[in-house]
């Protein structure tokens, strides 16, 4: 399994599309079944994003405020850029 992803930004964007339900079936299939099997950083990011979203759902009475979601995404992207 790769320890570094050469397409961090594109993978993060694809991850967001998948989790937001906006990715095509083919995109989702490729990313989840092929890319995550080979790329440890993306595997970790996927599970982190799922955990964050689940936490927000359980802690917030309603949808998470969009500003909070945007702030979290920005911080995740900044952290990925530093890796």
pLDDT tens, per residue, the chain with 83 residues: 788 888 888 988 999 999 999 999 999 999 988 898 899 989 988 998 899 888 877 876 666 778 888 888 888 877 776 65
* Within-domain flag for 76: yes
Give 66's strand partners. none
Any domain includes 27: yes
Can you give the residue range of the structural domain that contains 36? 8-82
pTM over 0.85: no
Report the number of distinct structural domains present in the chain. 1
Q: Is 1 part of a structural domain of the chain? A: no
Indicate whether 29 belongs to any domain.
yes
Residue with tokens 């500003």: 67
Token pair belonging to 37: 């099997």
Residue 18 lies in a domain: yes
Domain annotation covers residue 2? no
Residue 64 lies in a domain: yes
Flag whether 36 is in a domain.
yes
Instruction: Return d(Cα 39, Cα 24) in angstroms, integer.
Output: 21
């Amino acid at each position: 399994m790769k320890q570094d992803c050469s397409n961090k930004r594109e993978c993060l964007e694809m991850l967001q599309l998948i989790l937001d339900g906006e990715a095509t079936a083919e995109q989702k299939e490729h990313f989840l079944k092929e890319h995550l099997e080979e790329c440890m950083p993306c595997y970790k990011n996927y599970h982190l994003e799922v955990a964050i979203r689940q936490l927000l759902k359980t802690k917030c009475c309603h949808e998470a405020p969009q500003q909070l979601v945007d702030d979290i995404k920005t911080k995740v992207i900044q952290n990925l850029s530093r890796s």
